[in-house]
Amino acid sequence: MLKVKVLNSLQVKLFFLVTGLICLTVAGNSFQNYEKFQQFLTRQAQDSIGQQAKASAEEVSNILENWLSQVSVVVPNLGGVTKENAVKQIENLVSSNREFVAFHVVSLPANVNMKNIATKTFSSVGFNFTSRVDDTRFDQQDTSKIAEKIEAFNRKWLVQRITKDPQGTFFLVGLSDQFKLPLVNLAYRFSFAQSKESVWAVLTAWQTRITSSLPNAVVKGKVMMQGVIINQNGHIIASPNVQDMMVKRSVKDLPLALDALSGKMAWGIKDNFKDQYGQAWIGAFRRLPQLDKISVLVQKDAESAFLSTQKIIRRTALWGGLFILIAVLFSFVLAAGITKALRELTEATFRIAKGNFATSIKPKSADEVGALSIAINNMSQKILILLEEQVQKARVEKELETAKMVQDTFFPKRDIRQGPLFVTGFHQSASETGGDLWGHFSASEGVEYIFIADAMGHGAPAALVTAIGYSTCMAIADMIGSESNIQVSPARILERLNRVIFDAVQGGTTMTYFIAAIDTKSGVLTYANAGHNFPFIIPMKLNDPRVKRASKDANKIQSIALSLKGNPLGVERNVVFQEKTMNVAAGDKLFFYTDGLIDCTSPVGRKLSRKDLVEQATQLAQCPALQIRDSMIESAFALFDNNALIDDVTLVVAEIDQSWNVHSGSPANSGGSASKPPPPPPIKLEKEPLPALPKIA
C-alpha cells in the first residue's frame, strides 16, 4: 500500500484548492456586498437626517410665518392713528398669544442714513409687555425690569442689525444669553403708503414652540440626536438644551456648521465628523427660507445611526461561516471523487519512482484504459532492461539514478537529424518535475512526427499526466509498428490520447497537445491541435505564396501560423479532432512552444508576447536552427532575470534543409502551392523489434 504524507496527497491538495477558491469567492462576494450595503445604509442614514433637518426647518419657518402674519395684521393699521389707539392695538396683539412676551414698534425718519443711525434716531410708536407676569417661564424674575431691558435692548439691537444690513427686512436673535430666559426676538420692517418713514416691529416671544420642533434624544446621559438653530456667527440661538442658549454656545468650528456658514448651499449633509469631545456624528443643515443667514442643524450619533449595519454584518458573517463549512465538506467529497480514478495509477508510478521497477498493472478492460495499463507496464519493463544493463556497474543507489535518467528520456537528449529535417529543442521545468513534453518519432520512410504538449499546471500532478501522455503516445507508436494494417494520422493519435487521459483523470486535469507529421517525400505537413498554442513557420523567402496577408513592409518576411483549434485532452471523452495539411518548402523553420515562454514574467511583471516571439524569429530567419533556439532562449531568460518561473518553458525549432528537393508533389523552389495540397497517404510505422526503446531522438 502506497504511503503518502497527508499534506502531500493529491486529494488533500485538491481539497485545499477547492476550499481556498470557495473561501476566496465567499470573501470577495461578502466584501463587495458589504461595501454596497454599507453605501446603501449610508445613503439611507443621510436621507433620514436630511429629512429631519428639512422637517425641523419647515416647522420653525411655519412658526415664524404664523407670528409674522399676526404682526402683519396689526402694524399696517397703526399708521395715522393716535398714540393711545396704537398702544391699545399692540396690547391686544400681545394678549392674543400666550407665546408673545412683548411687542415693540418704532419708526425711522424718511431719508435717514441707514449706516449712521443711533438709538435716539428711533421714534417709539408703542410698546407693550405681557400681562402674564405669573408665567413660570419667567423663573420668578422681576418682569418690570425685564420689560425695561427688552425695550432698551430692541433699540440697540436694531441699530446694530440695520447698520450691518441696511437692506434687511427680517431679523432674528436669541435673547437667552441676555435675559437668562428662553426668549427670541423677531424684527420685521414695514412701510406705510401715506408716509415715507420706515416702521420696525419687534416681537419678543418664548422659544418653547421653536425648541420643541428641534429633535432631541438622550440615552443614559449621552446625546444621541440634537437639533439647534445657529446665527450667522455660529452661535446657538435655539436648542432643546437650555444651557446652550444661556451661554450662547458657539459651534462655528463644527464641520457641519462650517458648511452651513459658508453660504454656498441652502442645505447639505455631512458624514462621519467629530465634535470637540471626539464623538462621531452624521448631520444635516438647512437654512430658514425667510432668514438666509439662520440655519437649522440636526446631528445624530454615528454609532447609533449605523447600529443596524453592524447587526446585519454579524448575521451575514454567521451565514457565511455556515456556507463555508458546508462547502468544505463538499470539496472534501469532490476531491475524493476526482482522485479515485488516479489512485492506482499514482501508486504504481510512485512504486516505480521508489525503485520497484517490476511494478505491473493488470489491465481491467480492452479499451484505452487497458492500453494505458499496457503502456505503463511496457515502460516499467524498459526501465528494468536499462537497469539490468547497469546492474554490473552500480548498486542500489545507482539504480535510482538510472530510474531518473529513464524519466529524463521523455525528452530527446540530442538534436535530431532525419533526412532533410533537423529538430532541436529546449526545456526547463518550473519545479523539480514539470508538465511540458516534446518529442519526435519516425513513421514510414520519410515521414517524421514532432509533438509538443503541456499539462495543466506544473509539478508532480502535471508530470504524472505528462507521463501518461508520453507513455500512451509511445505505446501507440509501438502498436502501429507491430501491426502493419494499422493506419495513423495526427488527428487519430489525439483522439486515442484524449480517451486514455480522460479515463485516467475523469476531466480533473487537462493537457494541450500539438502533433505534426512531415512527409519529406511529398513536402506535405499534416497537423492536429488539442488546445495548444499555434506553432508558426518562418519561410526563407520574401512574399511566400502561403502567406495570406500582405505585409506593409515588402522587405520583411511574414510568418505562417499553423492555426487550428481543438479541445484540450481530458475535457471530454469522445472528441473528434480535425487536421489540416499544407506544403512545406526548403529553408522553412517551424517553431513550437508552450505557455511558459509567454507567461513567465520579469521582476517588474513584463512578459514576452507571441508577437515578440514571431518578431525575433523573423529577424533570425537566416540563422541556423541551433543559433535561433539559443538566441531566443537567452533573450527570454534575460527578460525573466532571476524571477522564479511560474510555468515550464519549452521551445522547439525544426528546420527543412535549404538544399532539400521534393521527390513528389510541388517542387522545392516553388515555396509551396496556394491551392490545398492533396491529403497524405496512410502512414505506417516501421516495425521496431522489442524491447528496444521507441526512437524519439
Query: Do residues 569 and 470 touch, judged by C-beta distance below 8 A?
Result: no
Write the pLDDT tens digit of every residue in 653-666. 999 998 888 754 34
Top pLDDT among 405 and 590 is at: 590
**CB 587: neighbour CB atoms within 10 A?**
19
Contact in structure between 313 and 33 (CB atoms under 8 Å): no
Q: Which of 121-135, 187-201, 465-479 has the highest mean pLDDT?
A: 121-135
Tell which phi-psi region holds residue 3, choosing left (phi > 0), alpha (psi between -120 and 50) or beta: beta
The answer to whether residue 100 scores a pLDDT higher than 90 is yes
Under 8 Å between Cβ of 238 and 207: yes
In whole angstroms, what is the distance from residue 25 CA to residue 16 CA? 14
Average pLDDT rounded to a whole number, residues 510-515? 94
Mean pLDDT over residues 145-153, rounded?
92
Q: Which of 69-83, 295-309, 631-645 has the highest mean pLDDT?
A: 631-645
Indicate whether 691 belongs to any domain.
Answer: no
Residues 497 and 627 in one domain: yes
List C-alpha distances in Å: 474 to 124, 442, 497, 632.
119, 11, 11, 30
Range list of β-strands (E), 207-362: 216-219, 222-230, 236-238, 267-274, 280-287, 295-301
Task: Establish if 33 belongs to a structural domain.
Answer: no
Half-sphere exposure of 519 (CA within 13 A, CB side): 26
Helix (H, G, I), strand (E, B) or coil at 612: helix
Tell me: pLDDT of 101 over 50: yes
Indicate if 416 and 368 belong to the same structural domain. no
Q: Which residues pair with 127 in a beta bridge?
A: 104
Residue 527's pLDDT is 96
Contact 246, 175 (CB under 8 A): no
Query: Which of 392, 409, 426 is where one domain is finished?
Result: 409
Q: Is residue 9 part of a domain?
A: no
| Degrees to nearest 5, angle at CA 33 with 27 and 34 | 85
Question: Lowest-pLDDT range, 258-267, 360-369, 680-689?
Answer: 680-689
Q: In the prediction, which pLDDT does 553 show?
A: 72
Q: How does DSSP classify residue 440?
A: E
Sequence-separated contacts (24+) of 261-270 with Cβ below 8 Å: 261/230, 261/232, 261/234, 261/295, 263/292, 263/293, 266/292, 267/50, 267/53, 267/54, 269/46, 269/49, 269/50
Instruction: Output the average pLDDT for the chain.
Output: 80
Query: What global pTM score does this model have?
Result: 0.44
Give the count of beta carbons closer than 10 Å to the beta carbon of residue 409: 17
Instruction: Evaluate whether 43 touches 271 at the Cβ level (below 8 Å).
Output: no
Amino acid at 441: F
Q: Classify residue 509: in a domain, yes or no.
A: yes
549 and 649 housed in the same domain: yes
With respect to residue 340, please indicate whether it lies within any of the assigned structural domains: no
User: Alpha-carbon distance 371 to 363, whole Å?
Assistant: 8
Answer whether 348's CB lies under 8 Å from 359's CB. Answer: yes
C-alpha cell, 365:
478492460
Instruction: Say if 679 falls within a structural domain.
Output: no
> Mean pLDDT across the stretch 441-461?
82
Q: Which of 574, 618, 568, 570 is nearest to 594 (CA)?
A: 568
> What average pLDDT does this structure show over 321-325?
79
CA 392 remoteness from chain centre: 62
**C-alpha to C-alpha distance for 397 and 408, rounded to whole angstroms:** 17
Residue 453 has pLDDT above 90, yes or no: yes
Which tops the pLDDT comparison, 186 or 694? 186
Q: Report residue 148 as a C-alpha cell.
A: 425695561
* pLDDT per residue as tens digits for the range 178-219: 889 999 999 998 877 666 778 889 999 999 899 999 998 888
* Per-residue pLDDT reduced to its tens digit, 530-553: 999 999 999 988 888 888 776 677
Confidence of residue 4 (pLDDT cuts 50, 70, 90): low
Q: pLDDT at position 191, please? A: 78
Same domain, 381 and 449: no
CB atoms near residue 118 (< 10 Å): 10
Residue 550 to residue 519: CA distance in whole angstroms: 28
Give DSSP secondary structure letters for 43-93: HHHHHHHHHHHHHHHHHHHHHHHHHHHHHHHHGGGGTTS-HHHHHHHHHHH
Of 291, 278, 301, 280, give the one whose Cα is nearest residue 238. Answer: 291
Tell me the HSE value of 212 on the side-chain side, using a 13 A CA sphere.
5
Between 228-232, 318-322, 611-615, the lowest mean confidence (pLDDT) is in 318-322
Contacts of 556 (CB under 8 A, 6+ apart): 542, 618
Please check whether residues 107 and 159 belong to one and the same domain: yes
The position carrying cell 400681545 is 94
401 and 463: one domain? Answer: no
Which cell goes with 229?
A: 438653530
How much is the pLDDT for 368? Answer: 57
Same domain? 278 vs 367: no
Q: Are residues 218 and 282 in the same domain?
A: yes
What is the C-alpha separation between 16 and 7, in angstroms, rounded? 10
pLDDT digits (tens, 9 = 90+) for 593-638: 999 899 888 888 898 899 999 999 999 989 999 999 999 999 999 9
Count of Cβ atoms closer than 10 Å to residue 651 Cβ: 23
pLDDT value at residue 290:
72
End-to-end CA distance of the chain: 36
Residues 400 and 453 in one domain: no
Top-confidence residue, 609 or 461: 609
In this structure, the answer to whether residues 392 and 453 fall within a common structural domain is no
| Residue percentage of the chain with pLDDT more than 70 | 81
Confidence at residue 117, expressed as pLDDT on a 0 to 100 scale = 81
Q: How far is CA 481 from CA 89, 95, 216, 526, 689, in A?
A: 127, 123, 95, 20, 9
Query: Is the pLDDT score of 16 beyond 80?
Result: no
- Radius of gyration of the chain measured on its C-alpha atoms: 47
Question: CA-to-CA distance for 154 and 106, rounded, in angstroms?
Answer: 9
Say yes or no to pLDDT of 141 above 70.
Answer: yes
Q: How many domains does the chain have?
A: 3
Q: Is residue 617 within a helix (H) or strand (E), and if so which, with residue range? A: helix 610-619
- CB within 8 Å of 535: residues ≥ 6 apart: 452, 514, 516, 527, 561, 562, 590, 591, 592, 593
Are 267 and 370 part of one and the same domain? no
692 pLDDT above the threshold of 60? no
Last residue of a domain, one of 272, 307, 342: 307
Instruction: Name the maximum alpha-carbon separation found in the chain.
Output: 142
CATH code of the domain containing 649 = 3.60.40.10
What sections of 519-601 are H helices per DSSP? 596-599
Rounded to the nearest 5°, which phi and psi values hold at 279? Answer: -80, 135
CA gap 657, 179 in Å, rounded: 111
Q: What is the domain extent for residue 496? A: 410-665
Joined grid coordinates for residue 317: 458573517
**Residue 118 included in any domain:** yes
d(CA 583, CA 674): 9
Q: Which of 409, 442, 473 is the last residue of a domain?
A: 409
| Helical segments of 365-459, H only | 368-390, 396-408
The 3-class SS string of 94-157 reads HHCCCCEEEEEEEEECCCCCCCCCCHHHCEEEEEEECCCCCCHHHCCCCHHHHHHHHHHHHHHH
Can you tell me which residue has the cell 492555426? 563
Q: What integer pLDDT is reported at residue 182 of this predicted model?
A: 92
Find the mean pLDDT for residues 73-92.
85
E-state strands within 573-620: 579-583, 589-593
For residue 213 the three cell numbers come to: 420642533
What the block records as the C-alpha cell of 512 is: 494541450
Both 122 and 172 in a single domain?
Answer: yes
pLDDT of residue 388: 75
Place of cell 438666509: 292
- Whole-number pLDDT of residue 285: 92
The three cell numbers locating residue 48: 433620514
Checking if the pLDDT of 430 tops 50, the result is yes
**Backbone torsions φ then ψ of 485, nearest 5 degrees:** -90, 0
With bands split at pLDDT 50, 70 and 90, how would you rate the model's confidence at 339? low
Asked, for residue 689, whether it belongs to a domain, the answer is no
User: Mean of the pLDDT values across residues 306-333?
Assistant: 74
